[in-house]
Amino acid sequence: MRWLLALALVAVARGLVGKLKLRKTKSMREALSERGLLQDFLSKHPPSLAAKYFPTAAASEPLANYMDLEYVGTVAIGTPAQEFAVLFDTGSSNLWVPSIRCSSEACADHRRYNPALSSTYRGTTDSISIWYGTGSMVGYLAYDTVRVANIQVSNQIFGLSVVEPGSFLYYMPFDGFLGLAFPSISSSNATPVFDNMMSQGLVSQNLFSIYLSPNENGSFVMFGGIDDTYFSGNLSWIPLSSETYWQVKVDSITMYGRPIACPYGCQGIVDSGTSLLAGPPAGIGNIQYELGAAQAKNGSYMVNCDFISRLPDIIFIINGIPFPLPPQAYIRQLKDGSCTSGFAAFSLHTAAGDLWILGDVFLRRYYSVFDRANNMVGLAPAL
């Protein structure tokens, strides 16, 4: 939804595209454009000036589904804009993209940011290094204007990779990451994008929501709002147990009406940047055994496709609320006709114990809301 504002100055300063009321005189945008001053005006008048008085409505960024493995959207950095495909990741907190200085194989196969092409770039001497479960980057920090979902964030700190070791990022359909977790886990104490959206008054509500579709298109992340046409019933609100990841307490994980994992409670994180549903090896081993899954040479766990209709729901009980996953959700049917388990063993150690990772296998079934104002996660069955 875009607001129709009577003042042309507000529309220009906040970068909104909308139909303004008809007037006899030219709009400020038209006048500045004719005089060649529009870009200079936009760079000197960031969106936060008007947003302080006219909060935005929700803004959505479409996400493309790559084989149910990654959900990728677009951000623009710099003036003029340089566009990058990024993974919108609730399991990390940093924005970073490849730098023109990076000569790693992964960088050569992706778009790279060139500071010399941006009039709003501001460099630093600070370094940054980030390790993920399957890849890493080393680089430096800089500031520039970032545009995402029609929201323009001024003076956003972000990372520029100089080295991207290994082969993982080479094969990825995205250039970098946009982390949506808390500042407390941000590398080099860099302020996350959504924190700047909040502090600059660019969202009308201090929350964002995510809908992941099993189809190639139709997924999105919405900043500042909730779209109730994408879920059924009411949202179930779950308090966070830690303001690091989007971490919640899981009461138990049941199958056939009895605990199959996490029998005495455990911690889980709602993570849009993880493809599967991951957990400690012992619990995942129990689940794979009950599914009749056998490990293949490539490390994945294969399931007899004929058994899918006989398998039960696996139920995650969170804050006393059951969140069932039917076999059609946790068994992945591949194009070659084979079927694999959507569960994977992974040890993510924290002071609270090893975490369960509620990744895309879980999120495709549940519309998710990430509420920074109240430090809660909202979940409802996705349509």
* Residues recognised as catalytic: 89, 271
Radius of gyration of the chain (CA): 22
3-state DSSP assignment of residue 74: strand
In terms of Cβ atoms closer than 10 Å to its own Cβ (0-12, 13-18, 19+), residue 49 is middle
| Per-residue tokens: 238 | 């779950």
| Residues ≥6 apart with Cβ < 8 Å to 340 | 293, 300, 301, 302, 303, 331, 332, 334
Q: 353: which residues sit within 8 A by CB, 6+ positions away?
A: 266, 267
The answer to whether 340 touches 305, Cβ cutoff 8 Å, is no
Give every CB contact of residue 142 below 8 A, 6+ residues apart in sequence: 115, 121, 122, 123, 124, 157, 158, 159, 160
What's the longest Cα–Cα distance across the chain?
74
Q: Which residues contact 159 (CB under 8 A, 6 or more apart)?
A: 94, 95, 96, 97, 128, 130, 137, 139, 140, 141, 142, 176, 187, 188, 190
């936009």: which residue's tokens? 42
Give the burial class of 232: count Cβ atoms within 10 A of its Cβ; 0-12 exposed, 13-18 middle, 19 or more buried.
exposed
> What is the C-alpha to C-alpha distance for residues 126 and 312, in angstroms, rounded to an integer?
51
347, burial (CB in 10 Å: exposed 0-12, middle 13-18, buried 19+): exposed
